[in-house]
């Protein structure tokens, strides 16, 4: 199989461009990945995701849905499972209730921001989107993603930031 000079030049340029992009990504994101510029000092940081979380019930809310021409309402009660990296096993009884109270106290500053984010997400949905099981799954994923992004913006120290592990619906009524 014969390759022309033009094809060989394009392949070499492609390889050089790829190598340059890899080098640039390493320089830009290297510190966050644990890659240092000093030879022999590369350390990969492994951050283990918490396996256990504390349930944080949110207040019940009734919102207008985004159905055109029809007034539809959504009544929803949801619970956010918040990560707790300090937990090695799930506490029980009074210890769990104490952890919930501590979480509620710790989250008091971010609760209005979470409430606003939830209201914005829910009012942007139509009843058709939310009626199917797939629609509810997508809603859970969107709530988790957007609340985590908002919590990330609020955190001063990345090690101390709160994170939503899961979203659960305890009530979900469309009328």
* Full-model pTM: 0.68
Strands 73-83 and 164-174: antiparallel
What pLDDT is attached to residue 26?
Answer: 67
Q: Mind listing the pLDDT tens digit for each residue in 58-97?
A: 999 999 999 988 999 999 999 999 987 777 788 888 988 9
What is the structure's pLDDT at 46?
A: 53
Summarised one tens digit per residue, pLDDT across range 103-124 is: 899 888 888 999 999 999 999 9
Q: 3-class secondary structure for the chain?
A: CCCCHHHHHHHHHHHHHHHHHHHHHHHHHHHHHCCCCCCCCCCCCCCCCCCCEEEEECCCEEEECCCCCCCCEEEEEEEEEEECCCCCCCCCHHHHHHHHHHHHHHCCCCHHHHHHHHHHHHHCCCHHHHHCHHHHHHHHHHHHHHHHHHHHHHCCCHHHCCCEEEEEEEEEEEC
Q: What is the pLDDT of residues 36-45, one digit of tens each?
A: 555 555 555 5
Higher-confidence residue of 91 and 33: namely 91
Domains of the chain by residue range: 1-46, 53-174
Cα 144 from Cα 121, distance rounded (Å): 11
Quick check: 94 and 48 in contact, CB under 8 A? no
Q: Looking at domain 53-174, what is its CATH homologous superfamily?
A: Band 7 domain (3.30.479.30)
Tell me what pLDDT residue 107 has: 85
Asked if the model's pLDDT at residue 51 lies above 80, the reply is: no
Instruction: Return mean pLDDT, the chain.
Output: 83
């Amino acid at each position: 199989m014969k390759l022309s000079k033009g094809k060989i030049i394009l392949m070499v340029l492609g390889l050089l461009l790829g190598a340059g992009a890899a080098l640039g990504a390493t320089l830009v994101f290297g510190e966050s990945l644990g890659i240092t510029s000093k030879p022999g000092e590369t350390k990969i940081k492994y951050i283990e995701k918490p396996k256990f979380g504390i349930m944080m019930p949110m207040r019940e809310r009734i919102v207008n849905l985004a159905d055109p021409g029809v007034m539809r309402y959504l009544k929803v009660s949801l619970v956010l499972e918040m990560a707790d990296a300090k937990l090695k096993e799930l506490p029980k009884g009074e210890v769990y209730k104490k952890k919930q109270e501590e979480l509620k106290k710790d989250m008091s500053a971010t609760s209005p921001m979470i409430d606003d984010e939830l209201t914005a997400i829910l009012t942007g949905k139509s009843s058709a989107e939310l009626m199917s099981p797939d629609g509810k799954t997508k809603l859970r994923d969107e709530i988790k993603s957007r609340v985590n992004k908002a919590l990330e913006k609020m955190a001063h120290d990345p090690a101390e930031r709160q994170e939503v592990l899961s979203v659960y619906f305890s009530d979900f009524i469309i009328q």
